[in-house]
Structure 1
Amino acid sequence: MATKAEQKLPLFTLSALVIGSMVGAGIFSLPRTFGNATGPFGAIVAWIIAGGGMYMLARVFQSLAERKPDLDAGVFAYAKAGFGDYPGFLSAFGYWIGSCIGNVSYWVLIKSTLGAFFPVFGDGNTVTAILVASVGIWLFHFMILRGIQQAAFINTVVTIAKIVPILVFILILAFAFQGDLFRANFYGGTGMPQASLFEQVRATMLVTVFVFLGIEGASVYSRYARERSDVGKATILGFVGVTGLMVAVTLLPYAVLARADIAGMRQPSMAPVLEAVVGPWGAVFISIGVLISVLGAYLAWSLICAEVMFAAAKSDDMPKLFASENERKVPAAALWLTNIIVQLFVVSTYWSQDAFALMLNLTSAMSLIPYLLVAAYAVLIASRGETYEQHPAGRRRDLIVAAIAVLYTLFMIIAGGLKFVLLAAVLYAPGTLLYFWARREQGKQVFTPVEWLIFVLAAVGCVIGIHGLVTGSITV
């Protein structure tokens, strides 16, 4: 019989969870996404902003993991501790539903990857693609029900396997680097749409948020950590490693192809970029890497989705039904709800004009509000001096770091645009039914006066968003 210590996750496995969560669909789509928006100069500016902002968020997660070890559910626990029950629920629900939508984007990318070889899959949202994705959803579902520890081990193996094609891509493009072509592309090159640098950078912002999602993976799994300090270490290790990969994957294609050519490639665009350099085997090689990577990321995020819902139910923020575990200690009810929602969103992609881009951007928009509340909580405890009684020296530094993280997440929400704020409200308002359910179970007052105001704002946004979808002023 395994001991309690043996069931805990070491630093390497926690780091693999962070990397496995971050390296998924997004990194393979970066060349075309950036090529559509900007040249190397704009891309460098975008990554400085995104990398700097997300580094501050990583530092916030690291600091909170050490200063608030009792809050071991991660993201939403900080929002609840700082701002009350309903904001805590919104953080948990937003993070959970955003993660579910992110899982849908993985299935879309898998099928669009196969679509390059089997036209029946199209861009990932044909009837055949939806049927095959549905089978995959439930195969993963029943595998995870067999145990979290086994799934975490599989994730570690897959994480190592999927990094190899990305490293090969980077090495080949580094050897094929053409300085003259890179300079010609630097500000966009031939055919660059007329747009200010701000607009160019803004067009990439939600994508940079998406590829950084998962930075909090170790925090979500903090209750499984062998050593509490490993949570912060795993967060920073994962961040530094993945950032280097993403910047290289973004910039190197500009040194082997014209920006306009990159912009016209199908997703996942890493495959046609490598094909242009080395021939058809490059597309096959990257496509295999995409399938491994995305399936691995899907596994990691399925674990995180269920864990967030389970932890929220354990702390009375979700109905107690979702706090139940099966005999293998898997939060089964939370996993069932997660995969039912993923299934519904997969079906909805049939009516989407660009299913992958929509799911990517909506995932980012839903995740930014929980990130904002985490950063704001870090500002709160640093400004109060809470937990700094014994070692006040780091208080000013932590306050500055958290304040920058708040400004960054606010900028991201604004840069994403009103469309995604309203689409987020379309999900947040009806999702509040789960909060009503939980509060009634506990016999507690549903809302405080301030929470009523927050709910009314979400409901108004929901109505406007639905009206926009019906009238066509908001397109998906």
Structure 2
Amino acid sequence: MAPSSNEAAQTLSRSALTALVIGSMVGSGIFALPASFGRATGVLGAIIAWVIAGTGMLMLALVFQALARRKPELDAGIYAYARAGFGDYIGFAAAAGYWIGCCLADVACLILIKATLGQFFPVFGDGTTPTAIAAASVLLWGVHVLVLRGIKGATTLNTIATYAKIVPILSFIIVAIFSVDAERFSQSFWGTDEPAFGDVFAQVRGTMLLTVFVFVGIEGASVYSRYARDRSDIGVATVMGFLTVLSLLVLVTLLSYGVLPREALAALPTPSMAGVMEAMVGRWGSIFISVGLLISILGNYLSWSLLAAEVLHSAALNRTMPSFLGSVNAHEVPVGALWLTNCVIQAFLLVTWFAEYAFTLALKMTSAMTLIPYFFVAAYGLKLASLGETYDAGDRARTIDWIRSAVATLYAAGMIYAGGPKFLLLSSILYAPGTILFFLAKRERKETTFRPFEAVTFAALAVAACVGIYALTVGAISI
């Protein structure tokens, strides 16, 4: 079916898709890296963590690229791949998990915006004071109005914000290159007083959910594939965006160890990149980075808002979400999905008032929620290569794609394990009630809700959610 004139007018170029990928990934996480890594590990552990994360996420990026090329009819990214490979309920779970992860990422952005302002205006505190939550709510609904005016305008603003926020990050890297002290760098190499590989690998595990968070958004071009001007741009934008962001992440992390001792890095307040910059050039450096952070997070927040609504909308068009989520306005914006998304973000914002470390919780929960969809995408790529679907006999690309998909699948599974049971239980508490949307969609179509395997899957999820609620109630886990 030919696209409507409005939809055709909103097609996105390769550079816009690449900016969407970079804009989705470069947000609050990169500005918190020096302290986050300083608390968890030394230089060697950081190098190992980025090798693992870089390899795993590169393989996932290549899986997205291969699927965009081999399954061009699946134009809804994460949701479409999971559904095609493993059925309606798994597809729904991938869409719901990714959507909730996007909502939590937006919450993290809003908290950090107010926490940064809190360094200059104490009324905002750590980003979770009543004033901060009220101000974040105003921003939330202001962006809501902007997005309702059209995807094209919103992505154009995101492209501008992406280029603007790269400037302070590059400035930090350049200054840090000339400020690195080799002796200080070597003192933080092992992360402990006594060198021991056992300690290093324990340190690496402590960084895993953080590394996942800073790469979430790698699928941005894939989610927006139906707007791509050329299908080949999707894979190129994904890989180019990934390599750009990986380079920035590694440089920011490692160079910081050469500027301040590990203990000093660990003690820095958020955004810790501002503290490192201040140590190098004085107070103006902290202000410069803080301004860059605000620009970065605003662009990042906009990216997540777009991605969250688009995933719900695409799932509704494919009849796995209720039909009201597939509605659009005169500007072709998924209005039903956008309203539900922002109502959920508002609810999460109110919950942050009761969370002890709201930003860290939102960051890690974003990673935990999105790892499940990533796992299913990688597994679908592995399934295609294993069965030979879309490949010619003797096609060398089949073996290459099988290896890439296998590595990506193992990486996603390993990251889920590294996160630990706490975040699996908290994730199940969000997944289980979200299944109400699946019930409604099936009821609209007068279909049986679950197939036998899906019923077992939901039962296991419900049990995990009950265990998680009980653990919260008795204090075994906490938010």
Indicate the TM-score class for this superposition, using the shorter chain for normalisation: over 0.9
Aligned to 2:340: 337
- Tell me the CA shift for residue 389 of structure 1: 2.3
The whole-number CA distance in structure 1 between the counterparts of 2:433 and 2:446 is 21
Aligned to 1:206: 209
Deviations 1:375-425 (A, max 9, x none): 010111100100002772200110011001110001000000000000000
- Tell me the CA shift for residue 7 of structure 1: 2.9
Runs of 4+ residues over 2 Å off in structure 1: 1-7, 189-195
Aligned to 2:430: 427
Q: Using a 3 Å threshold, how does the CA distance of structure 1 residues 193 and 102 change in structure 2: closer, same or farther? A: farther
Aligned to 1:154: 157
Aligned to 2:316: 313
Q: Which of these residues, 121, 125, 129, is aligned with residue 126 of structure 1?
A: 129
CA contact (8 A) 1:98 1:363 kept: yes
CA contact (8 A) 2:190 2:196 kept: no
CA contact (8 A) 1:192 1:260 kept: no
Aligned to 1:99: 102
Deviations 1:106-125 (A, max 9, x none): 01111111111111111111
Letter aligned with residue 343 of structure 1: Q
Does residue 263 (structure 1) correspond to residue 271 (structure 2)? The answer is no
CA contact (8 A) 2:369 2:427 kept: yes
Does residue 62 (structure 1) correspond to residue 62 (structure 2)? The answer is no
- Tell me the CA shift for residue 169 of structure 1: 0.5
CA contact (8 A) 1:15 1:235 kept: yes
Does residue 299 (structure 1) correspond to residue 305 (structure 2)? The answer is no
Aligned to 1:8: 11
Q: Which of these residues, 207, 227, 232, is aligned with residue 229 of structure 1?
A: 232
The whole-number CA distance in structure 2 between the counterparts of 1:192 and 1:219 is 43
Deviations 1:106-152 (A, max 9, x none): 01111111111111111111111101000000000001000000001
TM-score normalised to the size of structure 2? 0.97
The whole-number CA distance in structure 1 between the counterparts of 2:188 and 2:210 is 21
CA contact (8 A) 1:32 1:264 kept: yes
CA contact (8 A) 1:209 1:364 kept: yes
Aligned to 1:249: 252
The whole-number CA distance in structure 1 between the counterparts of 2:66 and 2:382 is 11
Deviations 1:202-226 (A, max 9, x none): 1100000000000000000000001
SS in 2 for 1:66: helix
The whole-number CA distance in structure 2 between the counterparts of 1:367 and 1:221 is 17
The whole-number CA distance in structure 2 between the counterparts of 1:390 and 1:189 is 53
Letter aligned with residue 74 of structure 2: L
**Worse-superposed segment, 147-156 or 384-393:** 384-393
Which residues of 2 match residues 158-237 of structure 1 at below 5 A?
A: 158-188=161-191, 196-237=199-240
Does residue 392 (structure 1) correspond to residue 401 (structure 2)? The answer is no
Letter aligned with residue 270 of structure 1: M
Q: Using a 3 Å threshold, how does the CA distance of structure 1 residues 192 and 314 change in structure 2: closer, same or farther? A: farther
The whole-number CA distance in structure 1 between the counterparts of 2:195 and 2:101 is 33
SS in 1 for 2:333: coil
**Worse-superposed segment, 1-10 or 83-92:** 1-10
SS in 1 for 2:437: helix
- Tell me the CA shift for residue 195 of structure 1: 7.1
The whole-number CA distance in structure 2 between the counterparts of 1:429 and 1:411 is 23
CA contact (8 A) 1:127 1:350 kept: yes
The whole-number CA distance in structure 2 between the counterparts of 1:421 and 1:88 is 19
Does residue 447 (structure 1) correspond to residue 438 (structure 2)? The answer is no
The whole-number CA distance in structure 1 between the counterparts of 2:199 and 2:258 is 23
CA contact (8 A) 1:173 1:253 kept: yes
Q: Which of these residues, 107, 110, 114, is aligned with residue 113 of structure 2?
A: 110
Deviations 1:39-94 (A, max 9, x none): 11100000000000000000000000000000000001111001000000000000
The whole-number CA distance in structure 2 between the counterparts of 1:60 and 1:20 is 20
CA contact (8 A) 2:34 2:265 kept: yes
Q: Which of these residues, 65, 71, 80, is aligned with residue 83 of structure 2?
A: 80
Q: Which of these residues, 454, 460, 473, is aligned with residue 476 of structure 2?
A: 473
SS in 2 for 1:196: helix
SS in 2 for 1:253: helix
Matched pairs, number:
476
CA contact (8 A) 2:165 2:295 kept: yes
The whole-number CA distance in structure 1 between the counterparts of 2:327 and 2:7 is 20
The whole-number CA distance in structure 2 between the counterparts of 1:254 and 1:193 is 19
CA contact (8 A) 1:191 1:260 kept: no
Q: Which of these residues, 464, 468, 478, is aligned with residue 461 of structure 1?
A: 464
The whole-number CA distance in structure 2 between the counterparts of 1:155 and 1:392 is 40
SS in 1 for 2:206: helix
Aligned to 2:363: 360
Letter aligned with residue 145 of structure 1: L
The whole-number CA distance in structure 2 between the counterparts of 1:189 and 1:431 is 43
Letter aligned with residue 325 of structure 1: V
SS in 2 for 1:215: coil
Q: Which runs of 5+ in 2 are unaligned?
A: none
